[in-house]
């Protein structure tokens, strides 16, 4: 079939997400999945007469032509402007945006790609001094904005995933000591743990101590009316404050 995409730059974001969901379905055989892959890429139904009536050799050739899906990934270069929106400077990410992105980057974050894009792409304007201003987070509906990214090509936004992940990796490397757990051996003299158990305990300790809800509570000193103001602050500033509080406690 001539209308089957030949590479990722011909695949829309909603099609890419559907393809990813299909790879997670372990109940379908390879033949059935191949038909669904082609139906996704051609916006048809898997039981369409087009597939049922196709010559077996033509079908095999079509399936063979899709090997690039499993052997390649979309480019990491992404468009900085899409549909009148502009990618934000990742270093200006707010704490609230960081929290929501961290949640969306949980398991199966490909399924959340359009929502991730809805956070990272903003309307902008230039002030009288020539500075670029981004629209405030929380002043627009993320779900509605996410729809704007369904019909763009996956190669236009796929790279924003690494754009965020590299930023988070660098951020946590810089503030590594901030998230270093303290395992109190004296409190566990009567317990014997192997290395794996100790690692699990440490991970749980970090998760409990540095959950975003706990950080918000500490920085606001328990005043929930300050939460919005804190989430609007740059995440880098928040990490600096967390480091300061930890240093003060250590001293």
DSSP-derived 3-state class of residue 87: strand
Tokens at residue 148, please? 């704007």
Which of 157, 192, 178 is closest to 235 using CA atoms?
Answer: 178
Q: By the 8 A CB rule, do 73 and 11 touch? A: no
How large is the average pLDDT for residues 195-224? 68
How much is the pLDDT for 189? 46
Phi, psi of 217 (to 5 degrees): -65, -45
Residue 152: pLDDT band by 50, 70, 90 thresholds?
Answer: very high
Tokens at residue 220, please? 């606001």
Q: By the 8 A CB rule, do 251 and 111 touch? A: no
Residue 169 burial (CB count, 10 A)? 11
How large is the average pLDDT for residues 169-175? 87
What's the pLDDT tens digit per position in 116-144? 999 999 999 998 998 888 999 888 999 99
How much is the pLDDT for 180? 61
DSSP state of 234: B
- What is the Cα–Cα distance from 159 to 13, expressed in whole angstroms? 12
Q: Does residue 186 carry a pLDDT above 50?
A: no
Which residues, at least 6 apart from 140, have a Cβ–Cβ distance to it below 8 Å?
123
How much is the pLDDT for 26? 62
Locate the DSSP E strands across 48-164.
Answer: 81-82, 85-87, 121-122, 124-126, 132-134
The pTM of this model reads 0.81
What's the pLDDT tens digit per position in 13-39? 999 999 988 877 666 667 778 888 888
Q: Does residue 187 carry a pLDDT above 70?
A: no
For the chain, the average pLDDT equals 82
How much is the pLDDT for 48? 76
How much is the pLDDT for 203? 56
What's the pLDDT tens digit per position in 49-107? 777 677 778 777 887 888 898 899 999 999 999 999 999 999 999 999 999 998 899 87
Q: By the 8 A CB rule, do 179 and 172 touch? A: yes
How much is the pLDDT for 200? 58
Which residues, at least 6 apart from 16, have a Cβ–Cβ distance to it below 8 Å?
8, 74, 110, 113, 154, 158
Alpha-carbon distance values, 16 to 70, 138, 212, 247 (Å)? 12, 27, 31, 46
């Amino acid at each position: 079939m001539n209308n089957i995409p030949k590479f990722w730059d011909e695949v829309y974001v909603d099609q890419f997400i559907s393809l990813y969901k299909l790879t997670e379905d372990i109940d379908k055989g390879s033949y059935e999945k191949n038909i669904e892959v082609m139906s996704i890429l051609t916006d048809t139904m898997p039981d369409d007469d087009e597939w049922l009536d196709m010559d077996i050799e033509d079908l095999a050739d079509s399936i063979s032509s899709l090997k690039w899906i499993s052997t390649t990934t979309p480019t990491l270069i992404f468009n900085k402007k899409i549909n009148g929106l502009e990618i934000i400077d990742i270093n200006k990410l707010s704490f609230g945006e960081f929290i929501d992105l961290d949640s969306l980057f949980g398991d199966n974050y490909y399924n959340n790609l359009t929502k991730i894009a809805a956070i990272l792409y903003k309307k902008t304007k230039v002030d009288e001094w020539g500075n670029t201003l981004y629209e405030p987070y929380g002043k627009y509906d993320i779900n509605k904005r996410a729809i704007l990214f369904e019909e763009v090509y996956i190669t236009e936004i796929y790279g924003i995933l690494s754009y965020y992940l590299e930023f988070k990796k660098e951020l946590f490397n810089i503030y590594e000591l901030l998230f270093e757990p303290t395992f109190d051996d004296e409190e566990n003299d009567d317990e014997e743990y192997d290395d794996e158990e100790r690692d699990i305990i440490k991970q749980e300790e970090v998760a409990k101590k540095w959950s975003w809800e706990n950080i918000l509570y500490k920085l606001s000193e328990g005043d929930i009316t300050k939460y919005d103001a804190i989430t609007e602050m740059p995440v880098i500033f928040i990490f600096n404050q967390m480091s300061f509080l930890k240093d003060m406690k250590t001293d």
